[in-house]
Every structure is written in C-alpha cells, then in structure tokens.
Amino acid sequence: MATIGLLAASPAWALDNQAQYQACMTLLNRDPAGALDSAVEWERQGGGDAARHCKALALIRTGEVEDGALELERVAEAMPQVKAPLAAELFAQAGQAWVKAGNPQRALYAQNQGLKLNPQDVQLLLDRALTYGTSGMYFEALDDLNVAAELSPDDPDIYAMRAAAYRQLETPDLAEENIDHALKISPSHPGALLERGYLRRDQGDAAGARADWLTVIQVMPGTDIANEAQKNIEKLDLR
C-alpha cells in the first residue's frame, strides 16, 4: 500500500513560544543532535509541551525512534480535552514513528487513541489504513479508507490505497475502478500508476506494466515508490 510522509512539524505548536519553537524546528532539519540538546535545555527552562515536542522529533531524527514515539504519546496523553485535535496529531506522529521502528501494534495503539480524539482526521485514517494494510488486515484498512473517501472525496491517495487493498484481496475489478478514479483526479499519481502496473502485469500486459512503472520512476525519482517500481521492472526482465 502507499506510504505516508513521516513526522512533519505541526503549525499548531506555534503558541506563546512561537519564535523559540520555530528556531528548534529549523535546527531540527539542519542538525538533529543539536536540536535535541537545545530542546532538552529549553524544557529545563520551562519550555513545556512545545519543547517536549521538539525533543521528541529530535529523538526520532537521531535514531532514538521508540523513545521519541513514547515522548509524543506522553505529551498527547497529558493534554486537556480542549486541545484534542492537537493531541490527535501527536498520536499520529507517534504512530508514524512506531511504524518506522517496526512495531505496528504500538502504531495501531497510537492511531486508535488519536482517532478517539478526532474521528474525522483524514490523515490519521490513512495512517491507520496503511498500518492495517502492512499487517495484512485489508478489510480493516478498507473500512478506514471508505470513511476517508467520504470526508475527502477528491484525495487520489485514498483511491490508490483502496486499489492496493482490493488487489491484495484478489478483487481486480474494484482495484481497477479505484485506480481509474485516482488517475481521473491526478493523471500522474504514482501510487495509482504503481497499482495499475501490478494489474497489467497480472493480466499479462508486461509492456503496459513497464510503462506505468517507468512513469512512476520519472515522476518520483529517488523515492521508495520509485525503488519499488524499479524492482518490479527488474523482475519483469527476469521472466
């Protein structure tokens, strides 16, 4: 199934400490270890949740992924109900970190907690669908994707992911229907093209599959999805 970007900083964190928070985020992108040191010191000086959020992201960027995920969960769990959408976003980031750490069960816990706080968070629904999909729980993934499609009907990612789930469930007609929908919205959508390549390969259309996967590589060079497309082309060549 499709992949989702990891751990973008939340603009909602620009609170009273906006300047210091933004400085920490800028340092995070340039020097994660330096950002970690800065965030720890800032927290000691009373930086509160904003400092802890920067610290958690810095832990993840420096390879302490599980510690960062736990910190994100702790900050989210301590937030008052009035900040439920922000807490849900932190649970989403924790879930992405647990996926990165290879722990889908903890990812599901974090994503479930986030969706309890904000059931209409489309990104969280996509995250949980991805976790379900990578765990082989395709019907559960489809449940989340169907809700996401109702909330955001013009998002091609949803239909590409739904196509992947239907392909895994050996329902190619529904997979093709969702691919067509995604490509109608975004004609060069890499996830949809990747999935159409799989369908074409399975239908014996090696040339069509190759064309789709080459387009993925051209549209998204150097990415995980491009690498997947390249591997698929290499397998075609071995046939």
What type of residue sits at position 48? G
**Residue 132: HSE in the Cβ half-sphere, 13 Å Cα cutoff:** 22
Report the distance separating Cα 63 and Cα 78, nearest Å: 25
Report the distance separating Cα 184 and Cα 111, nearest Å: 30
Report the distance separating Cα 135 and Cα 3, nearest Å: 14
Spell out the per-residue pLDDT of the chain, length 239, in tens.
543 334 445 545 545 578 888 899 999 999 999 999 999 999 999 888 999 999 999 999 999 999 999 999 999 999 888 889 999 999 999 999 999 999 999 999 999 999 999 999 999 999 999 999 999 999 999 999 999 999 999 999 999 999 999 999 999 999 999 999 999 999 999 999 999 999 999 999 999 999 999 999 999 999 999 999 999 999 998 87
Radius of gyration of the chain (CA): 20
Q: Which two tokens stand for residue 185?
A: 């919205």
What is the predicted pLDDT for the residue at 128? 98
Give me the residue label for tokens 């970190």: 97
Q: Residue 48: left if φ>0, alpha if ψ -120 to 50, beta else—which one?
A: left
**Does the pTM exceed 0.75?**
yes
- Residue 114's φ and ψ, nearest 5 degrees, are -65, -40
> Which residues, in sequence order, are CB contacts of 126 under 8 Å at separation 6+?
4, 144, 145, 148, 157, 158, 161
Q: Residue 102: left if φ>0, alpha if ψ -120 to 50, beta else—which one?
A: left
Q: How far is CA 196 from CA 101, 108, 112, 185, 213, in A?
A: 30, 28, 31, 15, 9
What is the predicted pLDDT for the residue at 1? 52
Residues, the chain:
239
> Which residues, in sequence order, are CB contacts of 46 under 8 Å at separation 6+?
none
Residue whose C-alpha is closest to residue 6's, from 109, 130, 119, 115: 130
